[in-house]
Amino acid sequence: MVGKIIKLISNDYTVLCNDKLIICKARGKFRNDNIKPLVGDNVKIDLKNSYILEVLPRMNELVRPPVSNIDQIIIVMSVKEPDFSTNLLDKLLVIIEYNNIKPIICLTKMDLLSKEEHSEISKYISYYQKIGYKIFNNTDISDFSLIFKNKISVFTGQSGAGKSTLLNMLNSDLHLKTGIISKALGRGKHTTRHVELMNVNGGYIADTPGFSDISFIGMSKSDIRDNFIEFNEYKQDCKYRDCMHDKEDDCAIKEAVENGNIIESRYQDYLKFISKE
């Protein structure tokens, strides 16, 4: 029998199979074979003994959050308390692009901005939309709620940005815990304790633990470069075929930054990312 893992707490896997929820354990040999079932996995199960027998091939997977077979990732970013972070947003976008998953940006707490701050954020919104990213904010719930049907979606982003609050707005029956911002740390308390797929608006959404750091696991410098999507429009005009857009001369990317075609913050984030790898 084939089902889908929709929840993992400790070593108990909740598998949805023929509209029934079955609590299963993983086979002991999985540990020896270094196989770790993930939420989102399609699995073969032994109904009689409630064991996962086999993990079927994955379309994709993430390490943090640990979810597989994802159609889209909603990056929830606060514009204030905690402040908007292009560094974290760009890092997440690059990692999501690398994993061939569609990223969607949702900005929260827009109502907290002053007129001047709103004008500044609008410049970033316009740029990310220009290069192809879909952006919502938490006042666009009616439009935002339409993107989930027949999809497995992951919510991720800043801790304290309001992921659980946003999910509760989409479906009030979820009653997810929400945290308050730690004034001392400037980030939210981790209020989500496990990974779970929840049926919302005709699709599945993962509510996952927030984080304050993420790394480019398994990615090379060229992988980071190639997943800044707007670079691809200009790179063919670089003097060197494998230009890293850093110290090389006649670099079309650096020229695009100087001309304002690529926003300075994206380029500076790019340089920071490749310098650390």
Residues 185-228 have pLDDT tens digits of 333 444 445 778 888 888 998 755 444 346 787 899 999 999 99
Cβ proximity of 79 and 71 under 8 Å: no
Q: Which domain holds residue 241?
A: 221-276
Q: Does the residue 194 lie in any domain? A: yes
Q: Does the residue 264 lie in any domain? A: yes
Q: Does the residue 216 lie in any domain? A: no
In this predicted structure, what is the pLDDT of residue 210?
Answer: 44
Same domain (yes/no): 122, 10: no
Same domain (yes/no): 184, 92: yes
Instruction: Tell how strand 12-17 and strand 20-26 pair up.
Output: antiparallel
DSSP 138: T
The region, left, alpha or beta by phi > 0 then psi within -120 to 50, assigned to residue 144 is: alpha
Q: Does the residue 213 lie in any domain? A: no
Question: What's the average model confidence in pLDDT over 163-183?
Answer: 61
In this predicted structure, what is the pLDDT of residue 173?
Answer: 67
CATH at 26: 2.40.50.140
In this predicted structure, what is the pLDDT of residue 174?
Answer: 62
Question: What's the average model confidence in pLDDT over 81-95?
Answer: 93
Same domain (yes/no): 43, 79: no
| 67 or 271: which leads in pLDDT | 271
In this predicted structure, what is the pLDDT of residue 37?
Answer: 95
pLDDT tens readout for residues 134-160? 999 877 788 898 999 999 998 887 778
pLDDT tens readout for residues 233-249? 999 999 999 999 999 99
In this predicted structure, what is the pLDDT of residue 61?
Answer: 85
Residue 76 backbone dihedrals phi, psi, to 5 degrees: -95, 115
Number of domains in the chain: 3
Where is the domain boundary, 207, 229, 264? 207
Q: Does the residue 65 lie in any domain? A: no
Q: How far is CA 90 from the centre of its chain?
A: 11
What's the farthest any 2 CA atoms get from each other in the chain? 66
Question: What's the average model confidence in pLDDT over 18-37?
Answer: 92
CA distance 138 to 145: 10
Same domain (yes/no): 143, 269: no
pLDDT tens readout for residues 89-141? 999 999 999 988 999 999 999 999 999 999 999 999 999 999 999 999 877 78
In this predicted structure, what is the pLDDT of residue 134?
Answer: 96
pLDDT tens readout for residues 34-77? 999 999 999 999 999 999 999 999 999 877 668 899 999 999 99
| 55 or 164: which leads in pLDDT | 55
pLDDT level of residue 10 (50, 70, 90 thresholds): confident
Question: What's the average model confidence in pLDDT over 257-267?
Answer: 97
In this predicted structure, what is the pLDDT of residue 166?
Answer: 82
Question: What's the average model confidence in pLDDT over 158-175?
Answer: 75
CATH at 104: 3.40.50.300
CATH at 255: 1.10.40.50
Same domain (yes/no): 196, 225: no
To which residue do tokens 């001369």 refer? 249
| 141 or 174: which leads in pLDDT | 141
Instruction: Locate 12 and state its tokens.
Output: 């108990």
pLDDT level of residue 277 (50, 70, 90 thresholds): low
